[in-house]
Structure 1
Amino acid sequence: MNILIITVGTQGDVQPYVALGKGLKAAGHSVTVCTCAYFESFVTAHGLDYAFMNDDLIKFMHSDDGKIAMENTGNLWEAIRTAIKIIPTVGPMQRRQIDDSWQATQAVQPDLILYHPKALCAPDFAERLGVLSIIGFYLPLFAVTGDFPAMGLPQWKLGRWYNRLTHGLINKATWWGMRKHISAWRKENDLPRKQGIDFLNQSDGQPAPALYAFSESVIPRPTDWPENARVSGYWFLDQIDDWKPPAELQEFLSNGEPPIYFGFGSIFGQDPLRLTKIIVEAVKATGVRAILARGWGGLDLDQIELPETIFKLDFAPHDWLFPQVAAVVHHGGCGTTAAGLRAGRPSILCPFFGDQPFWGSIIENLGVGPTPLPQKKLTVEKLSAAIRQVTTDTAMIEKADQIGQRIRSEDGVANAVKFIDQWLARDSELSLVDRKSDGLQ
């Protein structure tokens, strides 16, 4: 089958879908990934076809205005207020994103569209073409449950009615942020008006498949989710076979105790130098060895002198590096969180925005890391205490190892591919029945 994957965002919004795309290609499908042009070489390096989407969103996120906006999204209410302020800037970007991804869809003519929820109009494209669509996401959102409250809303223990209410509110807020452009596109393409967002049901009321890319060892599948919502396990993208670690990195790893890894990804605040200084002072105070990953600029490693106990890293695949460290300190992105869990290492999360505080609470509740340390409030003293905890708390270290073993026994990509194939077969059977009823066969 011909499959189009549409996703938009940072590395963490692209890498899992590339992993899934490789699994789908290995299963015999033709796979095209439509995402920001920044990631074209990343997509093609893994043997997948690429379809163009502009880089407007990434450029905005790394602009001064974008960083200020992200720093003001610590909870849902702050996010809503910030969203209202940036609508004049982001609105035209959303429309250009829709135009680019629709052009790609028309060129690919897919049998299936698999999409990130930020890929506006993706299910509408599928409806327009009369093909199957599947949402794929790494957070337990959009499928309403009474088992726990939605991410970003108060985690009050008021019962199942409250939990379901919070998920409904998230769906309404999501629709509020998308409706203008979705409604306009549907009108332009002769589709009936939508009244709201429902990723788990098609416009005709039939169930729509949904894939959730996290491990049940980390977030148990809600007991009241419908059958069309499947928790597959993580979609890990392991290192390309021809990658070789630098000799200097291998020498550092072999010449002492396992170091602490520090890395803060592709989304960061306005003062990376402040964060770097705090880390360096905490490393000195605790006497540990450390690896500091430059990332996309989350740490400023050029304006500060580093001691011999700290290695400055440009890049190394998490699946190769993390099993060789003592603990992982990071921003709380989904991909880095999952990689630390799979490696069986304790984590210290220093969340910045978005879903990062959620993953911080997950790590704490699992007992594999201390209470999250928000970057805005991070101090040398707080970070030093957390480092001492993850390097000396034997119960925490053992729990991390146990969860790592369970995650390593899972194959989230294979589970997702199987689920997708089942729905493709089901869709083909239904299409055949429709053609027969219309007298076409």
Structure 2
Amino acid sequence: MKLTIFALGSQGDVQPYLALGAGLQRAGHTVRVALPENFQAQATAVGLDTLPMHGNVQALMDQPELRALLARGDMLAINRYTSAAARAAAPLWAEQGLQAAQGADLLVTGLGTLAHSVGEKLGVPVLEAPVVPLTPTRDFPAVLLPPGTPWLGPWANRLTHRLVRQMMTRQGSPALTRRILGLPRTPRRSGHFLAAPTLYGISPSVLPRPSDWPQRVQLTGYWFLPEGAWAPPPGLEAFVQAGPPPVSIGFGSMGLRDPHQTTQLVLEALDCSQQRAVLLSGWGGLGDQTLPDHVFAAPPLPHSWLFPRVAAAVHHGGAGTTAASLRAGVPTLVAPFFGDQPFWGQRVQALGAGPAPLPQRTLSAAGLAAALRELAGNPGFTARAAQLGQQIRHEDGVGEATRQIEAYGTELGRG
């Protein structure tokens, strides 16, 4: 088959689709990935054909106004800000989306409506493959609700999923994109294609599949890139081996309102808990100052290399980073900003692989120090994390997703 994967967003939104695309390509399919222009080099490095989409997500996340919104965890304001950026980019995205999908037998997409509009325009079926659970269920509320939303009960839980799905469909530029593509305002409900499966790149060891999901909604396991040769930056391996295993601390693609202040908070917490640490600079600039000898500042690097070498991982709770720390079998502390991050922090706690999440908007040196001491002093976290890691490493998420995509292609007569 010829497939186009739409992978739009930050690092954690893109990397799983590079893994899925590489797996589909190894299985003999022709794959193109439409992705933000700042990730083109990563996709090319794993041998994928790319179509770079207008915009640099890292530059957007670095805007002071968005950094402030992220620090507050204000989901509605974040949506308004990013939706305005999406509307500005809509004309180019519509044109580039059409170009990316030309000749495809099937479109595969995570979050967003662009692929659906393009697929409708070209008459190409679309398969949803998110890494965040969006299908309505009675088991838990919608994962994109504001942090701290109370348990609402089975009926209300299911309703929140529909409300959030409507919000996601309306945000950004779907109406504008459809107008640009010459489509009617409301998507056509056509029986031309068989109902596509929904495939989640999530481990069933981390999120048990809800029993009220339709049969064609499946958890395949996480989508990881194969581990390749990689050389750590000078001094990192020596630092890791020079004493007790350090803690990894980093907040990924999240922009920090004040990197210097956040670094000072982390250093104070490390002093109080008497632990060594590797600080991952990420997109927020953590570790932007002179550091003591027991702390090492590292640039962005493969989690698959670092996490198995540390005592615990502290991060923002992005779906991809959570998958990586649990796969490594290390105790995990999530300090969420917004979106699905609080949900993954709650899952880590419920699974017994780490303590309760510490929201970024209330993060303090004393609170982080207490959590670090709890991570180090609770052998139950270590044992449970190791057990989970073993289960996840035995899963073949990319292989399972590939098989299900191939089966759908056969149903369509396009396999």
Structure 2 distance, partners of 1:345, 1:16, is: 20
Q: How far has the Cα of 1:302 moved from its partner?
A: 3.3
Matching residue's letter, 1:400:
A
The Cα shift of 1:397 comes to: 1.3
Closer/same/farther in 2, CA of residues 426 and 90 from structure 1, 3 Å limit: closer
| Matched position secondary structure for 2:171 | helix
Report 1:32-111 matches (<5 A): 32-72=32-72, 74=73, 78-84=74-80, 87-106=83-102, 109-111=103-105
Question: How many residue pairs are counted as aligned between the two chains?
Answer: 413
Matches within 5 A, 1:194-233: 194=186, 206-233=194-221
Q: Distance in 1 between matches of 2:90 and 2:179?
A: 16
Write out per-residue CA displacement over residues 357-392 of structure 1, whole angstroms, 9 at most, x where no aligned residue.
121111111121111112222111111111111111
How do 1:194-343 residues align onto structure 2 when only pairs under 5 Å count? 194=186, 206-241=194-229, 243-246=230-233, 248-299=235-286, 301-303=287-289, 305-343=290-328
Return 254-263 or 54-63, whichever deviates more.
54-63
Unaligned runs of 5+ residues in structure 1 are 432-441
Unaligned runs of 5+ in 2: none
Q: Is the 8 A contact 2:97 2:118 kept in 1?
A: no
Q: Deviations over 1:248-302 (max 9, x none)?
A: 2221222211110111111222111111111111112222111111122340x23
Contact persistence 1:132–1:424 (CA under 8 A): no
Distance 1:203 1:80, change over 3 A: farther
How far did 1:316 drift? 3.0
Cα offset, 1:125, TM superposition: 1.7
- Contact kept in structure 2, 1:150 and 1:170, CA below 8 Å: yes
- Given the two structures, how large is their TM-score scaled by the length of structure 2? 0.93
The equivalent of 1:130 in structure 2 is: 123
Q: Is the 8 A contact 1:265 1:298 kept in 2?
A: no
Question: In the superposition, relative to structure 1, how do residues 261 and 189 fare at CA in structure 2: closer, same or farther (>3 Å)?
Answer: closer
Equivalent position of 1:116 in the other structure = 110
Query: Which residue type is aligned with residue 313 of structure 1?
Result: A
What residue number does 1:10 align with? 10
- Determine which structure has greater relative contact order: mean sequence separation of CA pairs < 8 Å that are 6+ residues apart, divided by chain length: 2
CA RMSD of aligned residues (A): 2.3
Residue 170 of structure 1 is matched in structure 2 by 164
Provide the identity percentage: 40
The one-character-per-residue Cα deviations of 1:190-239 (angstroms, maximum 9, x if unpaired) are 5444269xxxx866685222110111111111111112211101001243
Moved more, 81-90 or 41-50: 81-90
1:368 match: 353
Q: TM-score, normalised by structure 1?
A: 0.87
Question: Which segments of structure 1 move beyond 6 Å, counting only runs of 4 or more?
Answer: none
Kept in 2: contact 1:146–1:163 (CA 8 A) = yes
Is the CA contact (8 Å cut-off) linking 1:9 and 1:58 kept in structure 2? no
- Alignment partners' CA distance in 1, 2:190 and 2:271: 56
